[in-house]
Amino acid sequence: MKSLTEQEIRASFVNCSKGEAKRLAVPRDLDERPWEHLDFLGWRDPGAPDRSYLVAERDGGPVGVTLRFPPSQRGFLHRSMCSLCLTTHPGGGVSLMTARKAGPAGREGNSVGVYMCTDLACSLYVRGRKIPDSGLRMEESLTVAEQIARTTGNLSAFLDKVRS
């Protein structure tokens, strides 16, 4: 993913108003992000524990969505799998992230959801640059490039649902 500026990030959001995009918390460490290892930029809002944000490259430009998720309710022995990168996590490591749909459907209250890594580090898990809390990922026969393609395909399908 190419690096993004704060202005590019704020302008990318498709499922919130321009005022909401202007007020949301953008990471202060954009210069330190491992852009070359990211398929999307994802972060949690430090001021709102139930909010996250995701920005991905789509159709030649960045597309951002605001996400909400419930507080973790699962015990440590419960394991869940991310629908994007297929990494398994114990406890609250995977959350149902919901995004209000873009346009009139979103203004009517319609939303879509996806189970994804609560820390939004799918890109780093797939590349082996971050180890899940469980200490390991399932062994796969796919190459890392194929896993990256699968992850970005799953993300694209989710973003298409948000924008449709």
pLDDT tens digit at each of 164 positions of the chain: 999 999 999 999 999 999 999 999 999 999 999 999 999 999 999 888 889 999 999 988 999 999 998 876 555 557 889 999 999 888 788 999 999 999 999 999 999 999 999 999 999 999 999 988 766 677 889 999 999 999 999 999 999 999 98
Q: Identify the residue whose tokens are 């498709």.
A: 14
What is the sign of the dihedral through the CA atoms of 44, 48, 49 and 50? negative
Q: What end-to-end distance do the CA atoms of the chain give, in Å?
A: 24
Give residue 154's pLDDT: 97
- Inside any domain, residue 97: yes
For residue 91, tell me if it sits in a domain.
yes
At residue 80, the pLDDT reads 87
Confidence (pLDDT) at 27? 94
How big is the CA angle at 12 (ends 80 and 128), to the nearest 5 degrees?
A: 35
If you search the block for the tokens 């690096």, which residue do you land on?
3
Total domains, the chain: 1
Neighbours of 73 (CB within 10 A): 9
Residue 1 lies in a domain: no
Q: Is 67 helix (H, G, I), strand (E, B) or coil?
A: strand
Handedness of CA 138, 139, 145, 149 (dihedral sign): negative
The reported pLDDT for the residue numbered 49 is 85
* Count of residues making up the chain: 164
Q: What is the pLDDT of residue 132?
A: 81
Domain housing 77: 6-163
Q: Is residue 19 part of a domain?
A: yes
104, part of any domain: yes
| pLDDT given at position 73 | 59
Asked if the structure places residue 86 within a domain, the reply is: yes
pLDDT at 45: 92
Any domain includes 100: yes
What pLDDT is stored for residue 92 in this prediction?
A: 83
Q: Is the whole model's pTM more than 0.95, yes or no?
A: no
Residue 72: the pLDDT is 60
| Among the listed residues 39, 85, 41, 84, the one whose alpha carbon sits nearest the alpha carbon of residue 64 | 41
